[in-house]
Amino acid sequence: MKKLVILILVLSFSAISAQILNFYEPETNDTRSEALGRTSILSSSKANFLFNNTSQLGFMKKKSIQVNCRANLGTYNRTVEDENDIYEDENDYPLHIKLNGISFAFPITYPNRKDLQIGLGIGYRTYYDFGYKRECESEYDDETYTLDTLDSSGGFNIIVLGGGISYEQRIAGGISLSFPFSSSVETEEEYDDGEFYKSDFDLSGYFFTLSGSYKINDLITIAARLRTGYELEHEYSGNGTTQGYNMEIPYELGFATELRPNGNVSLFAEYLTRNFDDYEVFNYNPNGITDKGYSFRTGFEIGNESAFRGGFFMQSVPIYKKKYDDEFLEHDKNPLTEYGLTLGAGAKLNNFFTLDIAAAYSFLNYDDKVSESNYSYEYSKFKIGCSLAYQF
């Protein structure tokens, strides 16, 4: 009975987070990397390398403080059509703004060992972002119904402590520890009949991130990052009750490369694992029977003190087409692919301040037929990011 209650909580938490195609996808928390196709291992900026590749802190020349924020809005619509009826479910996500990261990092040099340099950092970031607003309407038989409005805030918020060390400014390694801080999700949902429901999830978990970078020459840099697997604890409270469950989050492994054909152009490419088949709650995978999935990201940057950026990404998300045969209905094991385009710019305001902005548009559409019914799904999301860095 307890396991059944826990599984219901898992599904309800998934439903609360349904606006995010993969609600366990880590945020990059860096505006420059968002503009560069969401690459992050080699394309983060200044102190924000603490979040995405601590080995790069070993190459720092100055102290740096960064503040990052983001704004989301989007829609997803589902339509079911058969011989007699059409049912449409429309979900709008109004503009939602959030501060999602603060970082500080500084270099340490040794006069007697100029071949070695250390960089240390501390920061706060939203690792899994559950902040959004949703307005849901349904249309059936030419009648429109307002089902509910939902306001969700919070996420898996963590403190990150880390550092990197470089040798001869060519090869570097780094490690960071992440642990929860003020980490919770609060939701308020109001239905069309006036019924009001409020719930809270507290999230906790600890993990390490290991990274390494190697400058092969002035043209090519390569890097790798491993975030360890960990246990994410969910404690739910609502309607006078408290329940909890732990979810096994698999490791994430990433590889990246940067090419610099000349001093004004940089090209980035990155591959990340997704491992959807390894999530687990009481021997149950909330994603169902699934293949692993992947994420591929690429971007370009033109300019130095004033830079123009763009990128493209494609990544597996735990949404699946249904397929039908004469005997039974089953889920396709292949996760569908979300596609996205990014743009951005960066400008050095003076000798101390740098401003970065980014915009990303992503989408996923598909049609399917099950028995005599036609299904269609349309999802789109627009994300804006801004970061201000102070170097001294």
Integer Cα distance of 196 and 176 in angstroms: 41
Quick count: other Cβ atoms within 10 Å of Cβ 120?
A: 19
What gap in Å lies between CA 9 and CA 202, rounded to an integer? 13
pLDDT per residue as tens digits for the range 64-88:
999 999 998 888 787 777 767 777 7
CA–CA dist 52, 90 (Å, integer):
35
Q: Does residue 202 register a pLDDT over 60?
A: yes
Q: Which residue has the higher pLDDT, 309 or 336?
A: 309
- Per the CB < 8 A criterion, the answer to whether 298 and 320 are in contact is no
pLDDT value at position 14?
43
Tokens at 154, concatenated: 């919070």
Amino acid, res. 165? I
Coil, helix or strand at residue 250: coil
Distance CA 276, CA 289 (A): 9
- Tens of pLDDT, residue by residue over 216-239, are 999 999 999 999 999 999 888 766
Asked whether the predicted pLDDT for residue 59 surpasses 90, the reply is yes
Q: For residue 59, count CB atoms less than 10 angstroms from its CB and return exposed for 0-12, middle for 13-18, buried for 19 or more.
A: middle
Overall average pLDDT of the 290-318 stretch = 94
Cα(313)–Cα(164) distance, integer angstroms: 28
In this predicted structure, the answer to whether residue 325 has a pLDDT above a threshold of 80 is no
Contacts of 369 (CB under 8 A, 6+ apart): 324, 375
| Burial zone of 160 (CB within 10 Å; 0-12 exposed, 13-18 middle, 19+ buried) | buried
CATH superfamily of 2-391: Outer membrane protein transport protein (OMPP1/FadL/TodX) (2.40.160.60)
- Supply the pLDDT for residue 373: 72
349 half-sphere exposure, CB direction, 13 A CA radius: 10
Buried b (16+ CB within 10 A) or exposed e, 204-216: bbebebebbbebe
